[in-house]
Structure 1
Amino acid sequence: MTCVTKDEIREFAYKSGIDIVGFASPDCLFKYRDLLKNRYENGLSCNIEEKDIEKRINPYYFLKDVKSIVSIAVSYNIVYEADSPKSAYGTISRTAWGVDYHKVLINLLEKLRIFILSKCDDAKTVLLVDNNPLLERAIAYNAGIGFYGKNNMIINEKYGSYLFLGEMLLNIYFEPDKKVETKCGSCTRCLKACPGKALVGEYKIDANKCLSYATIKKGYLSDDTIKKIGTRIYGCDTCQDVCPFNKTAKRVIKDEFIPRGLKPKHDLKEILSLNKEKFQEVFGPTSASWRGKNTMIRNAIIASINSNDKNAIEPLKSLLDGESSYLRGYSAYALSILDGENSLPYIEKAYFKETDVSAKMFMKKAIKKIRGEVFEDNER
């Protein structure tokens, strides 16, 4: 007889605030080796994904004597209606509402670990929440948490797809739970709605086209991406928002996921004016903080362009003279669209003293846009 049962683990987990619990075999990921290889070879994976395929499919890297994986899911489909500010705003994905979900789920997993240790003296565990290369959604699928949607999200019939996932690697064997097969049927709403056209087929995604990835990708974005990103500051929920399962999914009351400093529709001018201290105050407690201040400001610059926000002009002029060459380039481009000839003297002044090649390229692009002619700086 095992020192603790699946039912006992589930009962404790549900009382602790975990919504769904499933059990998977540590070998369940090996079958994804060829799929991952195909994605890499066809350019469908993005640069934040782990390149070592074995690390993505082999839990034994993290716990040598792992015998089971306990998969948990916590719904973030909270009862909350976001207010729209009177000024122009940028949108924040539900994943970044409230307290950083990594901290919330690690805390829940730690409570579960302590419970299991109270029953099993020799238990060994490793707790994981989006801080490792293992295929979390594949683990959740194999643990019966839900089925794969055509948007590649894990969908649970009761809670929908607004789910945070976490795992506990455990050296105690439990019989794996049964997988849930897809219930999408002929529905293609997510494929049609995807603004980045990242869903290149049913159950197939080009991560490089996903706008959620675009909002965290560092550096300069293509003109096409700048247009498609709209007013998104962090993440994109479109493929989940249109999913029929989320229309009828259970709403939950979880105070930790209620937005506080960072609002779902956040004032653009405030984001454009962020200093380090204010960034930590607004973004710091959330899961959106990890990419840093400059990337969020870049996205706010793009949002100001796409919303034609004239209130952004003065903050943009400040950024044009700021410390970040990256933001100086973007600010010049935004000012050429929002303020036209009025900002030409500011952009030209910035251009002739700029030393960063990429920023200078964007400034030159801005000057050409305003003048409507070929611009030559005649520098020798």
Structure 2
Amino acid sequence: MANETLKAEIIEYAKSIGIDKIGFAAANPFAEMKSRLKMQQDDDYQSGFEKGTIEERTEPELHLDDAESIIAIAVAYPSRMKSRPTNKKGNRRGNFCRASWGHDYHIVLNEKLEKLEAYIASRVTGFRSRSMVDTGELSDRAVAERAGIGFSGKNCSIITPEFGSYVYLGEMITNIPFPSDEPVDDGCGDCTLCIEACPTGALVAPGRLNAQNCIAFVTQTKGFMPDEYREKVGNQLYGFDTCQLVCPKNKGIDTHHHPELEPDPELVKPELLPLLSISNREFKQSFGKMAGSWRGKKPIQRNAIIALAHYKETSAVDRLIELMKEDPRPVIRGTAAWAIGKIGREDGRQAILDCQQQEVDEEVLEEMAKGLAYFSHR
């Protein structure tokens, strides 16, 4: 009974610090998730960004030896910006996914969890906890599902009744045996819109994702982007939203509860050409507070070059030629050469031929050949 009262008090306090939804679950091992992760591993569907072993990702007691329960939290984020900058010829823009809008959600949620920990510690002698947000070992989605935050959709997102899938998730393992909340019933029904809309077939089955084929993952890689994804990425600089945008449960959902999560239009839809010249310091100053900056500027610049090629932006060719000639990074030189061919401005052909004579990197030379092939096929 005492823990029922404490639970109610925690729920009220959570609301006061901007936690939009909170749920409580037992800290038993996640047996079903363990088998699913094993299947992902066997099928080579993992992204490689996952932290920890399968056991560490599914057994809370490995992170808190006297774990009794887990508190799951959700914080809602916007799905629309209040003013969108114009994307037009001569001034093309890229796109960061909605999960990277505003201040880095890892920081925002960790701050809320720290406040929640301090609140509980002030009320319970001997309280122990371990909190995680996204980059921790436990599966946020499995915890949120068990704690009644929402159901796990066919698009592999937690879908809440109130905020759709536009929520950030975090959790706190505790040594307090709180009463558990009931899971939310699955709401997808026969709908398969997300699976049908996935441009790469990464959603191989309801609730099963081949992460290595997902555009969101591809935009975060650091090497040359495989050819088969370049058209499908379009103007995406980081992440991908289509599997959420087509979801009927997200229709009409647009939550603006947190000023720190509001997007800066010039950052989440930035001009592409200036990104090609941005210094490390400028990148950190402008984009460093966004979740989408975590891999550094090179993937963003590579994706910006691919986006300019997607638009066939002829005004970018001069800068692309400079990158092909001078950039010390093979991925940028090679992608620029490919993009010059894709865009097709006639002087680009000779520029590639000239640079071929000086280039020694085999992968860059392959990209130059791809660029030249576009001119041959016209």
- Short-chain TM bin: over 0.9
Task: Give 1:61 deviation, angstroms.
Answer: 2.3
> In the TM superposition, what whole-angstrom CA distance separates every residue of 1:88-132 from its partner, at most 9, and x where no partner exists?
111110111111111110111111111001101211111211121
1:284 aligns with 2:288: yes
The 1:82/1:236 distance shift into structure 2, 3 A limit, reads farther
In the alignment, structure 1 residue 324 sits paired with structure 2 residue 329: yes
1:231-279 deviation per Cα after TM superposition (whole angstroms, max 9, x unaligned): 1111111111111111133622321012237533221112222211221
Matches within 5 A, 1:203-282: 203-249=207-253, 251-260=255-264, 262-282=266-286
Q: Which residue of 1 aligns with 2:56?
A: 55
- Whether the 8 Å contact between 1:190 and 1:243 is mirrored in structure 2 is yes
Deviation at 1:340, TM superposition (A): 4.2
Equivalent pair of 2:69/2:177 in contact (CA under 8 Å): yes
Deviation at 1:53? 1.2
Alpha-carbon distance in 2 for matches of 1:100, 1:313: 33
Name the counterpart of 1:92.
96
**Which deviates more from structure 2 when the two are superposed, residues 18-27 or residues 342-351?**
342-351
Pick from 302, 307, 322: which aligns with 1:303?
A: 307
How many residues align? The count is 373
Residue 181 (structure 1) aligns with: 185
Deviations, residues 141-195 of structure 1 (Å, cap 9, x unaligned): 0000001111111011111100000111111111221111211112222122222
Residue 268 and residue 4 in structure 1: after superposition, are their counterparts in 2 closer, same or farther (change >3 A)? Answer: same
Does the CA contact (< 8 Å) of 2:132 and 2:138 recur in 1? Answer: no
Alignment of 1:131-146 (within 5 A): 131-146=135-150
Aligned position for 1:65: 66
Residue type of the alignment partner of 1:25: A
Q: Is it true that 1:342 corresponds to 2:343 in the alignment?
A: no
TM-score by length of 1: 0.93
Q: 1:302: how far off? A: 0.8
Q: Counterparts of 1:259 and 1:16 in 2: how far apart (Å)?
A: 21
Q: Which residue of 2 aligns with 1:356?
A: 361
TM-score (norm 2): 0.93
**Cα distance in structure 1, aligned partners of 2:223 and 2:83:** 30
CA distance in 1, matches of 2:186, 2:32: 18
Q: For 1:191, what is the secondary structure of its paired residue?
A: helix
Q: CA deviation at 1:79?
A: 6.1
Out of 160, 163, 172, which is 2:164 matched to?
Answer: 160
Tell me which moved more, 220-229 or 193-202: 193-202
The 1:82/1:207 distance shift into structure 2, 3 A limit, reads farther
Deviation at 1:315, TM superposition (A): 2.3
| 1:230–1:302 CA contact under 8 A, matched in 2 | yes
Given the superposition, is the C-alpha separation of residues 218 and 115 from structure 1 closer, same or farther in structure 2, using an over 3 Å criterion?
same
* Range with greater deviation from structure 2 (305-314 or 150-159): 305-314
What are the ranges of 5 or more consecutive residues in structure 1 without an aligned counterpart? Answer: 374-380
User: Match for residue 377 of structure 1?
Assistant: none
Moved over 4 A (4+): none
Provide the residue aligned with 1:16 in structure 2: 17
DSSP 3-state at the match of 1:99: coil
Partner SS for 1:217: coil
* Unaligned residue ranges in structure 2 (runs of 5+): none
CA distance in 1, matches of 2:123, 2:291: 33
Q: Cα distance, 1:43 vs. partner?
A: 2.4
Deviation at 1:281, TM superposition (A): 2.0
Which residue identity lines up with residue 368 of structure 2 in the other structure? M
CA RMSD of aligned residues (A): 2.0
Q: Percent identity?
A: 36
> Could you tell me how far 1:52 is from its partner in structure 2?
2.2
The letter of the residue matching 1:281 is Q
**Residues 311 and 254 from structure 1, CA distance in 2 versus in 1: closer, same or farther, beyond 3 angstroms?**
farther
Q: Which residue of 2 aligns with 1:170?
A: 174
CA deviation after TM superposition for structure 1 residue 296, in Å: 0.3
C-alpha contact 2:96 2:238 (8 A) present in aligned 1? yes
Deviations 1:337-362 (A, max 9, x none): 21444023322333232232222221
Partner SS for 1:89: coil
Counterpart CA distance in 2 for 1:51 and 1:121 is: 31
3-state SS of the aligned residue for 1:335? helix
Q: Does the CA-based 8 Å contact 1:79-1:253 persist in structure 2? A: no
Q: For 1:112 and 1:240, locate their aligned partners in 2 and report how far apart those are by CA, in whole Å.
A: 29
The residue type paired with residue 8 of structure 1 is: E
Q: 1:241 to 1:49 in 2, by over 3 A?
A: same
Paired residue for 2:151? 147
